[in-house]
Amino acid sequence: MDTISSPGETLRNSSNETVCEIQDGFLAEALPAMYSIISIIGFCSNMLALWAFQFGTQKTTSITVYMKNLVISDLLLALCLPFRAAYQNQSGPVILCKVVGIVFYITMYVSIFLLSLISLDRFLKITKPFQQFWIHTVSHSTAVARGVWLLCVAVLLVLLFEDSRRGPCSHKCFHFKKRSTLGAVSNMTAVAVFFFLLLFFLYAYSKISLKLHSVSLKKTQQCSKKTGSRAVRKTFVVLVIFIVCFTPYHVVRVPYILAQVDIISAVWKKQALHLANELVLCISTLNCCLDPVIFFFLSSRFRKAILAALPRKLGGALWKNQEDLNHGKSITESRICRAEIVGGLLALRHSNQDVRKECKHI
């Protein structure tokens, strides 16, 4: 495919150097600072999560298996970000740039798949509380998590050997680069997979929302509205983080890839897409800081570690607010399961005794 040449995008044959017209602009200084801050916060919070999961006493479940793998992914991302900050708008060793770039995207898509698995797990437990699925067992969830890692590593390692097309910006480590047709197709495939998972998220959480609404209609005096609001927060925090962190990046990614293969050829459009891509890419890294929020809501082990690390007065005030969350590992699932029982013939036989019994778990 023909490339577009311009006065600012030409090779200087006399000096054998490349002048790149596509610049980072205001992001040249902002991105390294943002990546550094995100790296520090993400590394510290996920190290705390790793310690909590490794040395805590909470029973291992399918959800904790996925969260442990998410912690590892977030730590790898946090370790990559200093290199992104150092070489954001600079030339660097080719191998280093490629390895850091590959690890960066491996962690992104591992996180996307793991968040999808967490959502699938909760979707099945909430909408089909009486059924036990193979994905709920620790052994199978461990195998699935390992499969996610192997799939992402195998697919993205291929890009390590991709010979990107030479262009006026190809000398920079993390910058706009022209792509081959094969590279563009592989990137578009990744985008398509993401939007498929996004559709699953929207479908799953719409079903969960309907289920929670039906359960809320069966609330009794013993099961307070506060419990319902906590269940909603626990359930939808994954959806919010998934959409905020990854959707903007994949929306921008489509025209950006078209610009990389010169289907979008105007230099000013490439400049705008480059700035947009860099900005949403930075937003996507926020997941390593926001994932601990998921751990806080879904893991009593991590929640206790956070509250213990806070100053005594603040931790004591928050602890009282969190006590009810620690009574059971699965608030939403228990409420749905018990509400359906109370709504049937068992409710007529056991009446308020069943309600009080199940509310203890909540």
Residues spanned by the domain of 275: 21-214+247-289
Asked whether residue 202 is domain-assigned, the answer is: yes
CA dihedral of 27, 30, 32, 38, whole degrees rounded to 10: -120
Give the phi and the psi of residue 93 in degrees, each rounded to 5.
-55, 130
Asked whether residue 168 is domain-assigned, the answer is: yes
| pLDDT for the residue 333 | 46
pLDDT: which is higher, 348 or 287: 287
pLDDT in tens, 94-131: 888 888 989 999 999 999 999 999 999 888 888 887 77
pLDDT: which is higher, 55 or 282: 282
Asked whether residue 137 is domain-assigned, the answer is: yes
Asked whether residue 206 is domain-assigned, the answer is: yes
Distance (Å, whole) CA 209 – CA 199: 15
225-260 and 94-127 helices, crossing angle to 10°: 140
Residue 276 clears pLDDT 90, i.e. is over it: yes
Which residue's structure tokens are 């099961």? 223
Mean pLDDT (the chain) is 77
Asked whether residue 115 is domain-assigned, the answer is: yes
Mean pLDDT of 4-10: 38
Asked whether residue 101 is domain-assigned, the answer is: yes
Asked whether residue 276 is domain-assigned, the answer is: yes
Asked whether residue 129 is domain-assigned, the answer is: yes
Distance (Å, whole) CA 81 – CA 42: 10
Residue 281 clears pLDDT 80, i.e. is over it: yes
Q: What is the CATH number of the domain that holds 100?
A: 1.20.1070.10
Confidence of residue 180 (pLDDT cuts 50, 70, 90): confident
| pLDDT for the residue 168 | 65
Distance (Å, whole) CA 296 – CA 67: 11
* 18: region left, alpha or beta (phi > 0 left; psi from -120 to 50 alpha): beta
pLDDT in tens, 48-90: 888 888 776 567 888 889 999 999 999 999 999 999 988 877 7
Cβ neighbours around 357 below 10 Å, total: 12
Exposed/middle/buried for 114, CB within 10 Å: 0-12, 13-18, 19+? Answer: buried
Residue 15 clears pLDDT 80, i.e. is over it: no
Percentage above 70 pLDDT, the chain: 71
Mean pLDDT of 160-179: 71
Mean pLDDT of 298-327: 60
Task: Quote the number of domains for the chain.
Answer: 1
